[in-house]
Structure 1
Amino acid sequence: MNSVVAFVVVMLVWTVSDFVAKKTKSLLSSLFVASIIFLIGFLTNVFPDDLLASSSLLALAGVVVGFIIVHLGTMISLDDFKKQWRTLLVGIAAVVGIAVFLLVAGLVFGGGVQPGEYGEVAAQPLDFVIAGVGAISGGTISVIIIQEAALGVGLTTVAIFPVLIVALQGLIGFPLTSVILRREASRVKAQVRPGELSVDEAEEAATASTSRLPDAFRTTAGTLFVVGVVVLAAIGINNLTDGVLNTFVVALIFGIALRTTGIFKPSVLAGIDSLGLMMIAILILVFGPLATVELSDLASLAVPLLLAFVCGLAGIAVFAAVTGKLVGYSVSMSIAIGLTALFGFPGTMILSQEAARGAGESPEEVAAIEGQILPKMIVAGFSTVTITSVIVTSIIAGHIGR
């Protein structure tokens, strides 16, 4: 597909999605609307499979995702990060809940895909349980781990299963989380107005301060250079530790540390000319898997998919809500934290910002609400998708085909 045409089409889809989100006050999130448009477009062949790749945005996203992670780190103060130990516990509990409920479903319903359609050996219920846990709670890395294990023992269907989950889970996770975060945002707004939360503190946290960088590194090019060096350092640590210290986790920590020391200003990329395009490129990563969905695969795996999502969501809701209650979080915030397992970053940021804008009636209220929700959701996405899921999936993937 022509690159310029592809780029224009993607921008049109995002323009429509953003318009709908604003008109519905984020009841229909822009991510959900865009997901629906792309899914229908790919299934009906209105959009060619190479639409996203041809737009060059996927390639750009692969380069700048680390930059945005560092930027997110500079949006969170060290004090905020220290306070998020409860968020980490709730996120871990959500992943455990997914595993427990899917295991119970596998034991109760049994069955499995038999040999025939893909010419493979029979897949057992536990194979789909493991694939479902890794896919629902994780992202690309977890799916790759599952696929390698499944293909290694000849289970093609099990290898396809997590890809379909990843492709579809945003369609479920985005609207659910949007509704729940709107409820949480309304609860926070009710605290802001009587003065329980300080709007001044929220504004101060959102206000950019001067950094220690020389003026030459405060331009668009200079800022991108410095942040790029930080990303390269994060990649180097990832490689030295064989992925034990994940690139994005290290980049987030670097961002927090550099803001705390005053080297980077809060929201380090804010104000540079390229931030908007970088964010759109990152968002396109969310829709990439939709181009791989086939109706035949959906039909053959419809029952396992339905069970995986129903039981996975039940596990998230129960375990996250109970754990959140124990550590002092509201039920709505706890479940929203758990639901980040379905999408992770950048959905965690976009949905938080949309919920704040939908509930707040002034810039001060929006800042105060976002200040309460956004740090939790950012840390939640890393605790579920980037950390816990990868660890859990790495442990259980070896049991596929046994």
Structure 2
Amino acid sequence: MNPVLAFVIVMLVWTISDFVAKRTKSLLSSLFVASIIFLVGFLTDVFPEDLLASSSLLGLAGVVVGFIIVHLGTMISLDEFKAQWKTFVIGVATVVGIGVMLLVAGLLFGDRISGAAEDGYAQALDFVVAGTGALSGGTISVLIVQEAALGVGLTSIAVFPVLIAALQGLVGFPLTSILLRREATRLRGEFRAGNLAPVEVEESATATETSRLPAALRTTPGTLFVVGLVVLASLGINNLTDGILNTFVVALLFGIGLRTAGIFKPAMLSGIDAFGLMMLAIMILVFGPLATVQPADVGALALPLLLAFVFGVAGIAGASALVGRLLGYSVPMSVSIGLTSLFGFPGTMILSQEAAKAAGETPEEVAAIEHAILPKMIIAGFATVTITSVVVTSIIAGRIGTG
């Protein structure tokens, strides 16, 4: 496809999605609207399968996502990071909740689920394992399940997590958007009552002075160069540890540490010329899997998919709400943290920002609300999608084909 035409189409979809989100005050999030447009477009062949790749944004996103995560790390102070241990616990409980509820679904509907497999001998437990890995994790978890399934000749089990990964944003985005709006509204009331501390709305000129970097490295290319070195270091650590220390987790920790040391300013990339395009590019990562969805695959695995989402979301809501309330979080915030397992970054960031902007009526209110929500959502995404789910999936994937 012509790259310029592809770029224009992607920008049109995002413009429409952003417009709808603003008109509905984020009741319909931009991510959800864009997901629907892209899904319908790909299923009906209105959009060619190579649309996103041809726009060059998908390739750019693969490069800059680490940069954005370092940037997010510089938005979280060390004290805030330490305070998020409760968020991590809720994230772990969420993954357990998903597994338990999918096991219940397997026990209740085992025969009908097994009958959906074209392989003829895939068992309900295989779907439970594959569904737990896909619903609670990202690409790495899906790959672990696929490798295990293909190793024992279960093609349908290998396809199953791919479909979940492609479609789970359609479930997670609207639910999380509604819950975060409720939480943002509650926080607005807390702010007006004086119970939520104001956050300084930094101007770019003021923020620049808080960095210890020399002036030559505070320009757009200088900033990208320095942050790029941090991303390369994160990649190196990932490779040295065979992925045990994930690139993006290390990048987030580097961002927090360098901000704490005063080397990086808070919100490191804010104010540079390239930031807006980088943000647009990483949003495209969300929609990439939709291009691979085939109607025949969805039809063949419709029942397992439906059960996975219904019971999976029930497990998320139950576990996160229970543990969150025990730790002092509100139910909407707790369940929002749990739902990050369905999409992870960058959805965690975009939905938090949209909720804050929808509820806040002044820049000060928006900043205070976002400051209260965003760190929790970012840490939650890493706790569920990047860390816990990979560990859990690695342990249970060996059960595929043994039921």
Question: What is the TM-score normalised by the length of structure 1?
Answer: 0.97
The offset of 1:313, in angstroms, is 0.4
2:78 paired residue number:
78
State the shift of 1:104 in Å. Answer: 1.2
Question: Within the alignment, does 1:233 sit opposite 2:233 as a pair?
Answer: yes
| CA RMSD after TM alignment | 1.4
Residue 382 of structure 1: aligned partner: 382
Matching of residue 288 in structure 1 with residue 302 in structure 2: no
Give the distance between the partners of 1:85 and 1:43, measured in 2 at CA: 41
Q: Please report how far the alpha carbon of residue 7 of structure 1 lies from its aligned counterpart in structure 2 after TM superposition.
A: 0.7
Contact 1:202 1:371 in 2 (8 A): no
Of all paired residues, the percent bearing the same amino acid is 74
Q: AA paired with 2:241?
A: T
Tell me what 2:164 maps to: 165
Deviations 1:322-347 (A, max 9, x none): 00011110011000000000000000
Which residue is 1:42 aligned to?
Answer: 42
- Structure 1 residue 205: Cα displacement: 11
Q: Give the Cα separation in 1 of the matches to 2:243 and 2:350.
A: 27
Secondary structure of the 2:135 match is helix
1:357 maps to 2:352: no
Partners in 2 of 1:137 and 1:236 — Cα distance? 26
* CA displacement at 1:114 relative to structure 2: 4.6
Distance in 2 (alpha carbons) for counterparts of 1:5 and 1:11: 10
Matches within 5 A, 1:1-400: 1-111=1-111, 112-114=113-115, 117=118, 120-199=119-198, 201-203=199-201, 208=207, 209-400=209-400
TM-score, with structure 2 as normaliser? 0.97
Deviations 1:129-171 (A, max 9, x none): 0000000011111001111110111101001000110111000
Aligned-pair distance for 1:107? 1.3
Instruction: Give me the whole-angstrom Cα distance separating, in 1, the residues matched to 2:115 and 2:98.
Output: 25
Tell me the distance in 2 between the aligned counterparts of 1:218 and 1:335.
39
For the residue of structure 1 that corresponds to 2:303, the secondary structure is helix
Distance of 2:117 and 2:275 partners within structure 1: 49
Counterpart contact for 1:203–1:368, Cα < 8 Å: no
Distance 2:114 2:273 in 1: 51
Q: Distance in 1 between matches of 2:197 and 2:77?
A: 16
The residue type equivalent to 2:125 in the other structure is L
| Deviations 1:223-278, CA, capped at 9 Å, x for gaps | 00000000000011111111111110000000000000010000101011111111
CA contact (8 A) 2:117 2:301 kept: no
Change (3 A) 1:116 1:330: closer
Q: CA deviation at 1:202?
A: 4.9
The 3-state SS of whatever aligns with 1:286 is coil
Instruction: State whether residues 116 and 300 of structure 2, in contact with CA within 8 Å, keep that contact through their aligned partners in structure 1.
Output: no
1:203 Cα deviation after fit:
3.8
Shift of the alpha carbon at 1:116? 8.0
CA distance in 2, matches of 1:309, 1:205: 43
Q: Size of the alignment, in residue pairs?
A: 399
Gaps of 5+ in 1: none
- Specify the SS of the correspondent of 1:245: coil
CA contact 1:132–1:161 (8 Å) conserved in 2: yes
**Residues 185-242 of structure 1: CA deviation (Å, up to 9, x unaligned):** 011011000111122x454799735200011111110000000000000011111111
1:193 and 1:162, CA in 2 relative to 1: closer, same or farther beyond 3 A? same
2:161 alignment partner AA: P
In 1: Cα distance, 2:178 partner to 2:117 partner: 42
Structure 2 unaligned spans of 5+: none
**Contact between 2:116 and 2:301, CA under 8 Å: does it hold in 1?**
no
Q: Residue type of the partner of 1:227?
A: V
Closer, same or farther: CA 325–52 of 1 in aligned 2, 3 Å: same
